[in-house]
Structure 1
Amino acid sequence: MTEPLSRARWWRLTPILFITYSFAYLDRVNYSFAAAGGIQQDLAISPSMASLIGAIFFLGYFAFQIPGAIYAERRSPKTIIFFCLVAWGILSALTGVVSNVHGLLAVRFLLGAVEAAVFPALIIFVSRWFARGERSLANSFITLSTPVTVIWMSVLSGYLVDAHGWRWMFIIEGLPASLWGIAWWFLVQDQPSQARWLKAGEGQAVEDTIAAEQGAIAPVKNYADAFRSLTVIRLAVLYFFWGLSLFGFILWLPSILKEAGSANIVQTGWLSAFPYVITAVLMPVVSRWSDRVSDRRKAVWPCLAISGAAFLTLYAVNGSGFWISYGLLCLAGIGPIVALAPFFAIPADILPRNVAGGASALINSLGALGGFVGSYLVGWFNGLTQNPASSFLLMGTSLMIAVVLLLLPQRPSISRAAA
């Protein structure tokens, strides 16, 4: 790279990436506040059915992940994200008007289905606009929206449920995503060379740099070869266990906190927000460091290991006092989110563009399947035992399995693994 690439990409695109995925996480996890705020009693939902409703989002997310990524990779990430934004805003708002369990199941499944393509499409979008040495930091503006959104969403949702009930919370928090979809359509372009807001030649310079990097990556003919790669398979299985813990924590944290102490729903919102404040501070630091080192695993495995150890310690000291448990719970929730950006820079680092997005989708879809299993089991264990200890053991063990899989020796060449 003879000259620095345009800085305008950062201030123009990263806020858009951040806002777009913020809406995704808002509509994904505000169900946790409905669960803590009375939806189960209002719709006569049993504890086992509540676990299924919380988890079924991830089943839809798993089923439509790869088809959405293939469309984004072969055609247009801009287009598919536009349609997904509009659809999931409408579906999230509809959650507030359902009158029975079957309607809630259907809406939650469809919400997962329309959101499925968004994350891999955003990763594909970043791979077209940012070079290898920038990619983890650029990805962090997508994943940074996770903790930041949960911070303000936790507080806002607590107040909305308290003041207006869970139905209005879904409606008020859902419809803005559809409006943002319209803004997205006019604000972004699929390729740097299409952007009129870049100076002459800047867009082409970005594309030339990325093309040169692609030339240094061993070719992989098609998705079948990429999906047979032992490296991709290992990353996908690893992310299944990671997702099991990550989404089990995110979806059920408010309920765990509300049942562990005497906090009302507003106080639960504030308590739920704190671990995400720390996460939001650490994520750009870890992502920036990841771009500077040659092995992104060095940025990922310590985050997962510390969090896994915190969950296992929670299991061991369960019942020792609210604030000790709360401190460990905060520590446990930080690592799996902080490590997302460097982890999802790996596929674009090791695979050519024609298959990297699909491989990211395969990995993310296994994480969604893990999210389904984790959300269901954590909710089921908590409802069955009226105690979160078993779910802490489950989440801690899952993260430790992910660490072991990540630290296994790497194959020397992705092309040999895929060929």
Structure 2
Amino acid sequence: MNSPTNATKRWLCIMPVVFITYSLAYLDRANFSFASAAGITEDLGITKGISSLLGALFFLGYFFFQIPGAIYAERRSVRKLIFTCLVLWGVCASFTGIITNIPALAAIRFILGVVEAAVMPAMLIYISNWFTQSERSRANTFLILGNPVTVLWMSVVSGYLIQSFGWREMFILEGIPAVIWAFCWWVLAKDKPAQVTWLTNNEKQALQAQLDKEQRNIKAVRNYSEAFRSRNVILLCMQYFTWSIGVYGFVLWLPSIIRSAGTNMGMVEVGWLSAVPYLAATLAMIAVSWASDKLRNRKLFVWPLLLIGGLAFLGSWAVGSHHFWVSWGLLVVAGAAMYAPYGPFFAIIPEMLPRNVAGGAMALINSMGALGSFCGSWFVGYLNGVTGGPSASFIFMAVALFVSVWLTLIVKPEQPQPLPVGAKHA
């Protein structure tokens, strides 16, 4: 028997649209890693130091525009904001394929970060409008699955596109789908349950009543200033900063790390090997989000996995490039462990802060993650260039994850209110 809020219909109508949208955003930010491994630096005369900075510039633009985007989404419309962003980032991504000099590439990478900045917090706000507390970790996970699943298929497709045509054509072809999808998003997405026709009035009322009930169990916070000064929000900002150092140091430089270690390896082989960690991450994210919602425990499904990720990086450093397959296997473990906690992590904020400030707080945390991503992607590329290998960057990413573990442990979110006797999850 279906729930009073028609959970099945909401999942089927909302999550595929959310997943595809975030997947396209991730495609257009992560394919730079394949261009870096395929010769963009040689073609444009980019030094190793400048190459790492160019890869990271996306996150600098991403950092500055998170909060304004979240405030617009919270107070106005997620639907309008995402439509505009889809068109703009698709155009910017395709333009990357026609630039001929370093300043133009730097400008495109920064602008791409700006127009994608609002996507993550806006989508988290969107999910909080449609899914209850007992569903939220899984809903967040299916959003963020757009990240590893995209890199999974992008790793293979980009390898073939580059080998068949070149890095320029890869950028142009992979930017077009976002523009096309913008018009699909406009037709399919609605900001609130009250605006759709595929839920009955009773289902809409039951869903809104459940969401309102959850808000009553959260301590009131007057404004963004008060929320941003809270101890837990500050700790989560620091935690996500250090966590993102590991994630994006890994994402942007994995193809280069694999190609430098593998003897006479072509881009297609690099693509397939780069895809495996994201397949493992996809499976881990689904399992972890289900367990987190089942046990209603968020932290338990964050810090142990980040600890495993840090230990895997240290293991890959210890075995070295002379044992390529062992080192690569440990990188698969690191990738899966770093991605698995995303769903539980982003479920913490809506359960700790009321709706009027939760979106802004998520944007602040995500912006600090963007700053960590900038530092990680830039410094890992720098270390790889200076040392001639990934060993130093493995240690750097491991230490960042260990700090993230400690910060997670000292966060003390509000305990969720117990369900009434006899009540069932949606």
How far apart are the structure 2 equivalents of 1:380 and 1:180?
36
- Counterpart for residue 50 of structure 1: 51
8 Å contact 1:29–1:251 — kept in the other structure? yes
How far apart are the structure 1 equivalents of 2:3 and 2:277?
41
Report the CA distance shift for 1:248/1:2 in structure 2 as closer, same or farther (over 3 A). closer
Is 1:402 the counterpart of 2:419? The answer is no
Amino acid at match of 1:87: L
CA shift for structure 1 position 63: 0.5
Alignment partner of 1:378: what SS? helix
Alignment partner of 2:296: what SS? coil
Percent identity over the alignment is 51
CA shift for structure 1 position 206: 1.1
Q: How much is the aligned-residue C-alpha RMSD, in angstroms?
A: 1.4
Amino acid at match of 1:364: N
How far apart are the structure 1 equivalents of 2:226 and 2:3?
34
Deviations 1:191-214 (A, max 9, x none): 001111212321222112101111
CA shift for structure 1 position 6: 3.6
- Counterpart for residue 305 of structure 2: 303
- Counterpart for residue 383 of structure 2: 381
Report the CA distance shift for 1:72/1:4 in structure 2 as closer, same or farther (over 3 A). closer
CA shift for structure 1 position 316: 2.2
How far apart are the structure 2 equivalents of 1:94 and 1:2?
47
CA shift for structure 1 position 360: 0.5
How far apart are the structure 2 equivalents of 1:106 and 1:22?
23
Is 1:125 the counterpart of 2:98? The answer is no
- Counterpart for residue 234 of structure 2: 233
Mean Cα displacement is larger for which, 198-207 or 146-155?
198-207
- Counterpart for residue 259 of structure 1: 260
How far apart are the structure 1 equivalents of 2:187 and 2:411?
45
How far apart are the structure 1 equivalents of 2:106 and 2:413?
42
Selected match of 2:357 from 355, 358, 362: 355
Structure 2 portions without partners, runs of 5+ = 417-426
- Counterpart for residue 317 of structure 2: 315
How far apart are the structure 1 equivalents of 2:201 and 2:72?
30
Amino acid at match of 1:294: R
Structure 1 portions without partners, runs of 5+ = 415-419
Alignment partner of 1:245: what SS? helix
CA shift for structure 1 position 294: 3.0
Corresponding residue pairs, total: 414
Is 1:172 the counterpart of 2:181? The answer is no
Mean Cα displacement is larger for which, 285-294 or 122-131?
285-294
- Counterpart for residue 417 of structure 1: none
Report the CA distance shift for 1:176/1:409 in structure 2 as closer, same or farther (over 3 A). closer
Is 1:273 the counterpart of 2:279? The answer is no
CA shift for structure 1 position 48: 0.5
- Counterpart for residue 221 of structure 1: 222
- Counterpart for residue 62 of structure 1: 63
Deviations 1:368-392 (A, max 9, x none): 0000000000000101111100000
How far apart are the structure 1 equivalents of 2:297 and 2:199?
32
Amino acid at match of 2:60: L
CA shift for structure 1 position 398: 0.4
Report the CA distance shift for 1:92/1:411 in structure 2 as closer, same or farther (over 3 A). closer
8 Å contact 2:134–2:296 — kept in the other structure? no
8 Å contact 2:94–2:173 — kept in the other structure? yes
How far apart are the structure 2 equivalents of 1:19 and 1:383?
35
Alignment partner of 2:21: what SS? helix
How far apart are the structure 1 equivalents of 2:29 and 2:206?
37
Deviations 1:348-404 (A, max 9, x none): 111100100110011110010000000000000101111100000000000010001
Deviations 1:85-112 (A, max 9, x none): 1100000000000010000000000000
